[in-house]
C-alpha cells in the first residue's frame, strides 16, 4: 500500500511572533496553501490511495470558513484517495469545530477520542484523536491489534516519550510500548521536527508541513511511503519552498552601526529563504536591534538577535584617573552584585562610555 503522511500544517496560524515585517504572516499563509496544493497534485500524479493527516491541520482559534472550504475543495480533487484525519491539540474535535459541523468530502474520515479501527482489504487502520485541547491519559497503549496477519497502521497526534510536564498533557505514548504493540507503521503528529532516520522507519513524525518559525529550521514537507508485510519504504518530499536559516555575524572588529549595516547587507543569501541574523562577539558600540532591523533593506532578513558581549575592558579603564576610570570602577563594583540585572547594567555602561567619550 502507498500513502502520504503529513501533520501540523496549522492553517491560519497568525505568525505574530515571526517578524515585524507587516505582511509576512499573510505571505506564509499563502505558502501553506501552495504547499497543500502541491501535495494534492503529487497524490493525483502518483495515484496515491491513502492520505494520513496526523493532527493540527488548522488552528481552531483562528481558522476561517474560507480556509476550510479551500481544504475540502482540495480533498474533492482526489476522490479516489481515502483521507484519514486525527485531530490534534490545536484542532480538536469539539462540538463547535469544523470537524463536527462541516460537510466534508465523502473520501474524508475524521477520528475522535474513541479509538476506531477501519478494516481495509489488505490492512487495518487505527485512529485516535483529540476532543479537547489537552489529552492527559492516552488510550493508545491499551490497543490490542486484532489481526496480525494483515498490515496494521496507527494514526494519532501524540507526544512520544513526553519528558516534560507540558508534553505529558498531549497524548503521551511510550516508544517502547508502542513498538511492542506491533504496528507496521505509526503516523504521528505534534512534534514539528521530522524524525525520519535509517534506524527509525515505521514510527514517524513528518514535522510541520511548512516551517512556522526559527525553531523549525531546515526542510519541511511530507512523508511518502510504501508498506508491504515484511518491507517498508519511506522518503521525505519537500513542499515548503522557503527555509528558515540562522546566520551568525561576529562584530568584534566592527566599530560603528554603519559598518555593521554594510556587513549585513554584504552577505550572500538565498533569495527564497528567510534569515535570522545573530550578532556575536564583543561589541564596541551600543546596538539597537529594532533600529538596525528597520534599516536593513534585504527583505528576507526578518529578524536580528543580539548575542554580543560588552567590548569594554573595564578593569583597564578603571586604572585611569579620568572620569571614564571613575565610572568604570563604579560599574565594576555594581557588576559584583549577584542580584543586578547584568543586561540592563551593560546597556548603562555603553551609554555612559559613549557620553564620556
DSSP string, 162-198: --STTGGGB-EE-HHHHHHHT-SEEEEES-SS----S
Instruction: Classify residue 299 as exposed, middle or buried by CB count within 10 Å of its CB (0-12, 13-18, 19+).
Output: exposed
Four-point Cα dihedral 98, 215, 212, 220, nearest 10: -100
Query: Residue 163: which pLDDT band, with cuts at 50, 70 and 90?
Result: low
Q: Give the pLDDT mean for 40-67.
A: 97
What would the mean pLDDT of 314-331 be, rounded to a whole number? 88
Q: Please state, in angstroms and rounded to a whole number, the distance separating the CA atoms of residues 39 and 333.
A: 61
Mean pLDDT over 166-195 rounds to 88
pLDDT at 285 > cutoff 90: no
Geometric angle at alpha carbon 222, from 216 and 223, rounded to 5°: 120
Share of the chain above pLDDT 90, in %: 64
Question: What letters, b where the CB count within 10 A reaches 16 and e where it falls short, cover 262-294?
Answer: ebbeeeebeeeebbbbbbebebbeebeeeebbe
Contact 236/223 with Cβ under 8 angstroms?
A: yes
The answer to whether residue 99 scores a pLDDT higher than 70 is yes
Residue 94: predicted pLDDT: 97
CA distance 84 to 125: 9
pLDDT of 137 above 90? no
Check if the beta carbon of residue 45 is closer than 8 Å to that of residue 51. no
Summary mean pLDDT of the chain: 91
Q: What is the mean pLDDT of residues 226-242?
A: 93
Dihedral Cα 25, 28, 33, 39, nearest 10 deg: -150
Please state which of the ranges 127-136, 142-151, 200-209, 335-344 shows the lowest mean pLDDT. 335-344
| Cell numbers found for residue 283 | 561589541
Q: Residue 321's pLDDT is what?
A: 85
Cα Rg of the chain (Å, integer): 26
Give the per-residue pLDDT at 232. 92
pLDDT in tens, 250-274: 999 998 999 999 999 999 999 899 9
| pLDDT surpasses 90 at 174 | no
Domain residue spans in the chain? 2-238, 244-356
Cα dihedral 326/332/338/339 (nearest 10): 40
pLDDT value of residue 355: 79
Q: Stretch 31-48: mean pLDDT, rounded?
A: 98
Asked: is 2-238 a CATH 3.60.21.10 domain? The reply is yes
Is the pLDDT reported for residue 58 higher than 60?
Answer: yes
Amino acid at each position: 500500500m502507498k500513502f502520504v503522511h503529513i501533520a501540523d500544517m496549522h492553517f491560519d496560524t497568525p505568525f505574530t511572533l515571526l517578524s515585524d515585517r507587516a505582511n509576512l504572516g499573510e505571505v506564509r499563509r499563502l505558502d501553506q496553501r501552495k504547499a497543500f496544493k502541491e501535495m494534492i497534485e503529487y497524490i493525483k500524479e502518483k495515484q496515491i490511495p491513502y492520505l494520513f493527516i496526523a493532527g493540527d491541520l488548522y488552528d481552531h482559534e483562528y481558522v476561517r470558513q474560507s480556509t476550510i472550504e479551500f481544504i475540502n475543495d482540495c480533498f474533492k480533487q482526489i476522490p479516489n484517495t481515502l483521507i484519514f484525519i486525527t485531530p490534534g491539540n490545536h484542532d480538536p474535535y469539539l462540538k463547535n469545530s469544523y470537524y463536527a459541523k462541516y460537510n466534508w468530502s465523502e473520501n474524508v474520515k475524521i477520528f475522535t477520542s474513541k479509538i476506531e479501527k477501519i478494516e481495509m482489504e489488505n490492512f487495518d487502520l487505527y485512529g485516535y484523536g483529540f476532543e479537547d485541547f489537552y489529552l492527559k491519559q492516552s488510550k493508545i497503549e491499551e490497543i490490542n491489534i486484532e489481526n496480525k496477519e494483515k498490515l496494521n497502521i496507527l494514526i494519532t497526534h501524540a507526544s512520544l516519550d513526553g519528558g516534560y510536564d507540558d508534553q505529558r498533557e498531549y497524548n503521551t505514548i511510550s516508544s517502547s510500548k508502542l513498538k511492542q504493540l506491533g504496528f507496521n507503521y505509526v503516523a504521528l503528529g505534534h512534534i514539528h521536527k521530522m524524525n525520519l532516520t535509517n534506524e527509525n522507519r515505521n514510527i514517524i513524525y513528518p514535522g510541520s508541513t511548512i516551517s512556522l518559525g526559527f525553531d523549525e529550521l531546515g526542510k519541511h514537507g511530507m512523508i511518502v511511503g510504501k508498506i508491504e508485510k515484511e518491507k517498508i519504504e519511506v522518503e521525505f518530499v519537500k513542499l515548503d519552498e522557503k527555509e528558515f536559516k540562522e546566520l551568525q555575524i561576529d562584530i568584534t572588529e566592527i566599530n560603528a552601526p554603519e559598518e555593521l549595516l554594510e556587513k549585513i547587507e554584504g552577505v550572500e543569501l538565498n533569495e527564497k529563504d528567510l534569515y535570522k541574523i545573530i550578532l556575536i562577539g564583543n561589541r564596541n558600540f551600543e546596538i539597537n536591534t529594532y533600529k538596525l532591523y528597520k534599516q536593513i533593506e534585504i527583505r528576507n532578513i526578518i529578524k536580528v538577535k543580539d548575542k554580543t558581549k560588552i567590548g569594554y575592558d573595564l578593569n583597564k579603564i578603571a586604572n585611569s584617573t579620568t572620569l571614564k576610570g571613575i565610572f568604570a570602577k563604579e560599574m565594576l563594583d555594581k557588576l559584583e552584585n549577584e542580584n543586578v540585572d547584568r543586561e540592563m547594567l551593560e546597556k548603562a555602561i555603553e551609554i555612559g562610555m559613549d557620553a564620556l567619550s
